[in-house]
């Protein structure tokens, strides 16, 4: 059966997350239902990462196995037609080797988190950002973020329901920048690692927001990390500002 890699973009608000669920809408379920309309049978797809409810995808990657030898462009077009009106789009499709796997072949995941700083309610960006009404100190947040780089036991920044075998992970990048937009100033967090723990990025951002607001210091971030205790984490931020922004593979499937 030919295998295809899919680059998937989605708005996470209507979904209970990526993973298929019996009684709630999911991104995986929407794509599998679209595939079943092209080839009537049960389909199971795999993805590079299982995003939570409300989290968005800019460049999620999944793979599917088909019976027909589809032209990749025609497969993406057919899927996009069947996915309407769900806010899910197959941006690219590519034929890959039979042993290629969207999750296990990946060497890096990249996330983006957006905070909008303004008092007026968000309209166009509602559901796409975490809005705070106070200004944040980018320099202080970057200083706190730097304390988290490298290989650590990230128990403090790990959800209590995380199923990862170990809390030990290597964080390659956690860059904080201020971006001026028409809607108001935003803080963007660029996060990069081979893999992540459940709620790790949202735990980072919620903690660093406290540093930017002046309630924590960078030293407090170090103390929280070294505590290896979930209770030492700052507030976990809401999901709507989080985006799976990209996945890296040794041989990029879409080039």
- The residues spanned by each domain of the chain are 3-105, 108-246
- Express as a percent the part of the chain with pLDDT over 90: 97
Does the pLDDT value for residue 14 go beyond 90? yes
Please tell me the predicted confidence (pLDDT) of residue 12.
97
Is 52 in the active site? Answer: yes
Does the pLDDT value for residue 230 go beyond 90? yes
Please tell me the predicted confidence (pLDDT) of residue 209.
98
Tell me what the mean pLDDT of segment 142-156 comes to.
Answer: 98
Q: Are the C-beta atoms of residues 234 and 222 closer than 8 Å to each other? A: no
Does the pLDDT value for residue 236 go beyond 90? yes
Does the pLDDT value for residue 152 go beyond 90? yes
Cα separation, 151 vs 225, in Å, equals 11
Q: pLDDT tens-digit profile of 209-225?
A: 999 999 999 999 999 99
Tell me what the mean pLDDT of segment 175-203 comes to.
Answer: 97
Average pLDDT, the chain: 97
Q: pLDDT tens-digit profile of 55-76?
A: 999 999 999 999 999 999 999 9
Does the pLDDT value for residue 250 go beyond 90? yes
Query: Confidence class of residue 255 from pLDDT cuts 50, 70 and 90?
Result: confident
Q: pLDDT tens-digit profile of 19-45?
A: 999 899 999 999 999 999 999 999 999
pTM above 0.75, yes or no: yes
Please tell me the predicted confidence (pLDDT) of residue 127.
96
- Express as a percent the part of the chain with pLDDT over 70: 100
Catalytic residue, chosen from 52, 65, 137, 146, is 52
Instruction: Find out if CATH 3.30.70.580 is the number for domain 3-105.
Output: yes
Q: Do domains 3-105 and 108-246 have the same CATH topology?
A: yes
CATH class of 108-246: alpha beta
Please tell me the predicted confidence (pLDDT) of residue 163.
87
Q: pLDDT tens-digit profile of 83-123?
A: 999 999 999 999 999 999 999 999 999 999 999 999 999 99
């Amino acid at each position: 059966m030919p295998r295809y890699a899919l680059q998937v973009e989605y708005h996470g608000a209507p979904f209970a997350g990526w993973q298929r669920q019996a009684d709630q809408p999911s991104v995986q379920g929407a794509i599998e239902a679209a595939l079943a309309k092209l080839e009537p049978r049960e389909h199971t797809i795999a993805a590079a990462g299982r995003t939570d409810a409300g989290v968005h995808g800019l460049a999620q990657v999944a793979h599917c196995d088909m019976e027909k030898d589809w032209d990749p462009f025609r497969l993406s077009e057919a899927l996009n037609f069947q996915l309407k009106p769900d806010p899910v789009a197959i941006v690219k499709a590519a034929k890959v080797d039979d042993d290629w796997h969207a999750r296990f072949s990946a060497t890096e995941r990249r996330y983006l988190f957006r905070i909008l700083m303004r008092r007026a309610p968000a309209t166009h960006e509602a559901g796409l950002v975490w809005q705070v009404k106070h200004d944040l100190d980018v320099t202080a947040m970057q200083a706190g973020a730097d304390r988290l780089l490298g290989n650590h036991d990230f128990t403090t920044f790990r959800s209590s329901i995380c199923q990862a075998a170990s809390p030990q992970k290597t964080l390659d990048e956690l860059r904080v920048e201020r971006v001026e937009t028409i809607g108001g100033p935003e803080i963007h967090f660029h996060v990069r690692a081979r893999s992540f723990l459940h709620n790790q990025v949202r735990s980072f951002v919620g903690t660093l927001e406290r540093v930017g607001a002046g309630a924590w210091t960078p030293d407090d971030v170090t103390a929280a990390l070294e505590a290896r205790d979930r209770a030492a984490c700052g507030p976990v931020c809401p999901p709507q500002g989080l985006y799976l922004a990209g996945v890296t593979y040794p041989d990029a499937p879409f080039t």
